[in-house]
Homo-oligomer: A and B are copies of this chain.
Amino acid sequence: MTAQSPSAAVLIIGDEILSGRTRDSNSGHIAAFLTEIGIDLREIRVVPDEEDRIVAALDALRTAYTYVFTTGGIGPTHDDITADAVAKAFGVAIEYHPEAIEILRQHYVAPEELTEARLRMARIPVGATLIDNPVSKAPGFHIGNVFVMAGVPKIMQAMLLNIEKELHGGVPVQSVTVDCPFGEGVIGTALGEVAEAHPLVSIGSYPVLAARNFSTKLVIRSRDAAALAVAKTAVEAMLADIARHKAGDSTLTDY
């Protein structure tokens, strides 16, 4: 199902996520964005703000996937080390980028406003092209197959829209959800048979727990709309069959 499709990884850089203080919302946003344009997100990694760890993750991911998207670590403070790590991973120098300096100069007009810290955000690996930041101006950048974006969700989201035109998407995976009123343990065997009989789709089964009762969300995914429709009908028929035959079972909403 995914052999022909462009693939991607997301690399989240941030001690703050690993400490549990801040919940990462960027990876979920990027995941949904990529699904819409037909790029398969195949891995998410979160690593600390440590150069060697960022370099190692970048090297592992950029050689394994079509695209890598990073968030975080490109601001003006001492703990923002992503640009340096990216330069190191690509074996290039990092320099003040004339266009990035100009963008900052137009925004921070008085010389004392363009602080040393803010100017630091114009340091870009040599050979990279800038990603426009309509929110706070300091750009992201793109080098090789790696797209380097800010960690602030609003800025990251704006940058993502600005790089969409540079990404080669594939046929989007479509999905339908069938709500199953029974627990997974009731439908598991029959569902496995349906899944096996419909190799053009993938069927995911997700337990939902509410007030001690389990139900299940069945998500059918495919790039082939016809196959998706056929599989959906088969899943619904299977559920109707179970409802008929197991009507008296007191464990229908157990796991």
- Complex Cα spacing A121 to B184, Å: 11
B residues less than 8 Å from A152 (CB atoms) = 207, 209
**A195-B28 in contact given A20-B41, A136-B214, A184-B117 (Cβ < 8 Å):** no
Chain B CB within 10 Å, residue with most, of A18, A25, A155: A18
**Is B204 a contact of A108 with CB atoms below 8 Å?**
no
Give A1-33 interface residues, CB cut-off 8 Å to B: 12, 15-25, 27-33
**Is B204 a contact of A79 with CB atoms below 8 Å?**
yes
Asked whether any CB of chain B lies closer than 8 Å to the CB of A55, the reply is no
**Is A35 a contact of B22 with CB atoms below 8 Å?**
no
**Is A135 a contact of B78 with CB atoms below 8 Å?**
no
B residues less than 8 Å from A187 (CB atoms) = 77, 117
Contact-residue bracket for chain A: 35 or more
Give A201-225 interface residues, CB cut-off 8 Å to B: 202-207, 209, 214, 219, 221
Asked whether any CB of chain B lies closer than 8 Å to the CB of A118, the reply is yes
From B17, B120, B255, A136 is in contact (CB under 8 Å) with B255
**Is B75 a contact of A155 with CB atoms below 8 Å?**
no
**Is B77 a contact of A137 with CB atoms below 8 Å?**
no
From B107, B196, B204, A15 is in contact (CB under 8 Å) with B204
Asked whether any CB of chain B lies closer than 8 Å to the CB of A46, the reply is yes
- Complex Cα spacing A138 to B27, Å: 30
B residues less than 8 Å from A168 (CB atoms) = none
- Complex Cα spacing A12 to B204, Å: 15
**Is B251 a contact of A113 with CB atoms below 8 Å?**
yes
B residues less than 8 Å from A154 (CB atoms) = 209
Expressed in whole angstroms, the minimum distance between the Cβ of A48 and any Cβ of chain B is: 6
B residues less than 8 Å from A32 (CB atoms) = 19-21
Asked whether any CB of chain B lies closer than 8 Å to the CB of A129, the reply is no
Chain B CB within 10 Å, residue with most, of A24, A154, A184: A184
**What are 21 A-to-B residue pairs whose CB atoms are below 8 Å?**
A17-B31, A17-B44, A20-B28, A20-B31, A21-B32, A21-B35, A24-B27, A44-B45, A75-B185, A75-B207, A75-B255, A76-B188, A78-B192, A107-B254, A108-B185, A110-B251, A115-B188, A117-B192, A120-B188, A138-B255, A155-B209
